[in-house]
Structure 1
C-alpha cells in the first residue's frame, strides 16, 4: 500500500477449499476522525464488492488507531467495530498509530468457502467460525476493563489469559492444545514487558507448557486498549479439531536462538498444515542473532533487513519463503524512521499489504520489528483440507 493507495489486497486460493483474502485499508491523511472512518468504510465496502466478497465472508478485522481513548467511543456503535447481529465479525481495536498520516488503518481477513461455513458469537470477545469439521476461535479485545490502577501487570496478564482459557475450556479445548497465536499489547513496553513475561511464564507452567513441550507464537509489543488503567490487552487465534501432525513450530538456529535463551516463552512461528495449503503465523521478529544479541544497534535500515532475513529463514524452515507472506505489520520505535522504512518496503515488496505503525519493541535497542501471516501451497493428501 503506497502513500497514495487507500487499499492493498493479497489472497491464496484453492478451488476445493476456498480463498483467504487479506485486505489493508487506510484513508488519506487530513480531516476529522469521523471523516476518515467514513472514507475507510466506503473504500473497504467498495473493495469487498469488487472482489465479490459478501458480508458473510468477513472473519476478522484489526483497527489501528492513533488515539484510542478519544476514538473508541465513536467506533463502538459502528458496523466496522461490531459487525451485524446476524453476521458476527471478530474485531481487534488497538492504539498503534498508523505512520502514513491517517488516524486509522485496518487489516481485514475474509474467507470464501465452497463448503458450508458458519460464524457464531460466543460472547462479546469470542467468535467461532466452523468449516470443514474444524472450529476457529477468534478472541479479541481481551483486557481487564480496569477502572482503577491497583492491579499489577502480572495479575492483569493472568486475568487476560484466564479469559481466553475459559473460552477454550467451554469449547472443550485447552491453551496448550488449541491456541495457535497471541498478540499481547502493553501500555508502556519499556516498563511493563518483564512483568508480562514473568506472569505469562508462570501461567504457561500452570497450563502444561515448558521448553520440553511448546509455547505459542506471539507478538509482545507496545499498544493500548480503551481502558485507562489497563496495562495489558490481547488478541488470540485458536483452532479445534486439528491432528497433532498438522501443527509444527518454526525456527532456524543459524539465524535465531531459542526464545528461552533470553528468558522469554513464545514460539518464533507456527505452521498449520492442511492438504492443499500451509498457514504460517510469524511472531514479532527483530534484528536478533543466534546468540540472542541485537544486531546492528542504532541502524534501523540494517535492523529491518535482518528482521526480514530472519522471517525468511523461519518460513524456509517450514517450506515457505518471504514471497508467501500475505501481509506484514512493521512496528517502529521512532516515527521519524517511517519514510526510509516505507521507501525500502515499497521498493522490495510493492504488492504486499503492509502496515507501518508506532510500537516500541521489548528491548530499547530494537528499532523495528515485523510480523505477519504467510500461506503457501501444500501437497499433503493425508491431511484434511482447510
Structure 2
C-alpha cells in the first residue's frame, strides 16, 4: 500500500510502501524556500528532518541511499559535509552531485529509506567507502555512491577504472546478474558522453553481461572534485533468481537501446513475493527509430517523454499513480516553469517530482525524466525482507 505525506507547504514529501509480510520502504524529498543562503538552507532541511523523526509514520526508518542536488558542488561540498542533515543521512550511502535544484534553494534531497534494524545494515569493505549493504532475511540491496576516479584525465579511462574497481568490490553478489540500476553523472556531457558509452559497453562485454543490462540514467553532473569527469552510483541486489528480473520495454514507442549501441535497459522490474520494484531509466523525447523528435520544442518534448514513460508503466500493468517519485533533468533552467505546467496537467497531483538543471546525453534533448515505482508482487517468490 502506498501512502503519501505532504508537509511544510509541499516542500517535504514522504512516500511509503507497506505490506503485511515485508519490510516498509520510504522515499523522502526535502526542499527549502527559494533564495536561501546555503547555510540557512541546510539548517532548514535539518530542522524539517528532525521534525519528521518525531512523526509516527517516520519511526524506525533508516536512510540507505541519498542524493544531494547542489547548485555549486565544488564550493559547497565542505559546508554540506559539516551540516547536521548530512550527518543524519550519511548513515546510509550518500552522493553529492552538481545539478542545480530548480524547485528549491541551493540544495534539495532525494532519499530512499528502509524500516529495518541496524543489524541488517553495514558498510561494504571495498574500494568505495561511501557504500551501504542491507542484508535481510531473503534478499540484499547494495548501494554504491559517488564512485569516481581522478587517476586519468580521459572520461573513457575513468569509466573503465570505476567499473573495474566496482566489480572487484563485489563479495557475495554476482555483478553481471544482479546489477540493477546505475545513475551516471558526466561533466561536460556534450563532449564526454561517447567515451563513457564505449568503455561501459566494453566492460559489460568483458564480464559477459548479455541477458540484460541495468536500468540507467546518464546526464550532466559535476563532482566535488573537478578532475572527476564521470561519477557513478550503483544498486545491486542479492538473493534473486534469474526470472525475478524482467526487462521493461515499450516497443511501440521506443526501440531497444542496444539497437543504437548503448548498454542499458529502458527499465528493469524486480519481483518479490509482496511487491515489485520498477526501476525506470532516463526517458526523453525519442521515437520508435531511436531519433530525437520535436527538436527545439520544449512543450512537445515534455509531452513525448511523459508518453514514453507512461507506455513503460502501462506495459507492466502500472500507471503514474504507482510512482514513488520522479526527477526531471532540465537542460535550460528558463524552461522549468513551462515543464512544470505541462507535467502538472498530465501527472497526478500527489506524485513527488524534483526538478534539477542538467544537460542530457544528446544536445537536442531539452529534458529527461526518471523514477521508481512499486507495485504488487508475485506470490511464488519470497517477500522483500
TM-score (structure 2 length as normaliser):
0.92
Corresponding position: 1:363 with 2:362: yes
CA drift at 1:316: 2.2
Q: Which of 368, 380, 383 does residue 382 from structure 1 map onto?
A: 380
8 Å CA contact 1:181–1:217 kept in 2: the answer is yes
Q: Residues 92 and 131 of structure 2 are in contact (CA less than 8 Å); yes or no, is this contact kept in structure 1?
A: no
**Separation (CA, whole Å) in 2 of partners of 1:357 and 1:349:** 20
Deviation at 1:101, TM superposition (A): 4.5
Count of residue pairs brought into register by the alignment: 375
- Given that residues 117 and 129 in structure 1 are in contact (C-alpha distance below 8 angstroms), is that contact kept between their aligned partners in structure 2? no
Q: Would you say 1:100 and 2:99 are equivalent positions?
A: no
Take 1:40 and 1:333, find their aligned partners in 2: how far apart are those partners? 26
Write the distance in 2 (CA, Å) between the matches of 1:116 and 1:96. Answer: 31
Q: Once the two structures are superposed, what CA deviation does each residue of 1:211-254 show, in whole Å capped at 9, x if it has no partner?
A: xx221111110001111111000111001111111111111211
Are positions 1:166 and 2:168 aligned together? yes
Higher mean displacement: 311-320 or 2-11 = 2-11
Select the residue among 303, 308, 313 that pairs with 2:306.
308
Please list, as runs of the form range in 1=range in 2, the aligned pairs for 1:222-371 lying within 5 A after superposition: 222-347=220-345, 348-371=347-370
- Whether the aligned pair in 2 keeps the contact of 1:285 and 1:311 (CA below 8 Å) is yes
Structure 2 residue 143 is the aligned partner of structure 1 residue 120: no
Q: How far did 1:52 drift?
A: 3.5
Shift of 1:105: 0.2
For structure 1, the residue ranges without an aligned partner over 5 or more in a row are none
Root mean square deviation of aligned Cα? 2.0
Distance in 2 separating the partners of 1:285 and 1:265: 14
Instruction: Determine helix, strand or coil for the equivalent of 1:214.
Output: coil
CA distance in 1, matches of 2:61, 2:354: 25
CA contact (8 A) 1:2 1:346 kept: no
Residue 73 in structure 1 maps to residue 70 in structure 2:
no
The equivalent residue for 1:151 is 153
Q: CA deviation at 1:145?
A: 4.4
Q: Secondary structure at the match of 1:142?
A: strand
**Whole-angstrom CA distance in 2 between matches of 1:27 and 1:252:** 36
What is the CA distance between 1:141 and its match in structure 2?
0.7
* Counterpart for residue 208 of structure 2: 208
SS at match of 2:196: helix
The match for 1:90 is 93
Instruction: Give the distance between the partners of 1:120 and 1:266, measured in 2 at CA.
Output: 28
1:117 Cα offset (Å): 6.0
Shift of 1:374: 0.2
Give yes or no for the alignment of 1:6 onto 2:11. Answer: yes
C-alpha change, 1:19 and 1:141, in structure 2 (3 Å) is: same
Unpaired stretches in structure 2, ≥5 consecutive residues: 1-5
Offset of residue 266 of structure 1: 0.7
Whole-angstrom distance in 2 between the partners of 1:81 and 1:246: 35
Aligned residue number for residue 190 of structure 2? 190
User: Which of 122, 126, 134 pairs up with 1:129?
Assistant: 134
- Contact residue 82 and residue 91 of structure 1 kept, 8 A: no
Mapped partners of 1:138, 1:3: distance in 2: 29
* 1: CA distance, partners of 2:91 / 2:336: 35
Contact 1:288 1:294 in 2 (8 A): yes
The CA deviation at 1:54 is: 4.0
Relative to structure 1, the CA distance from residue 2 to residue 100 in structure 2 (aligned partners, 3 Å threshold; closer, same or farther) is: farther
Deviation at 1:111, TM superposition (A): 1.7
Residues 267/51 of structure 1: CA separation in 2 closer, same or farther (3 Å cut): farther
Which of 33, 57, 61 is equivalent to 2:38?
33
Other structure's SS at 1:18 match: coil
Cα pair distance change 1:71/1:116, threshold 3 Å: closer
Take 1:330 and 1:31, find their aligned partners in 2: how far apart are those partners? 22
Alpha-carbon distance in 2 for matches of 1:344, 1:265: 30
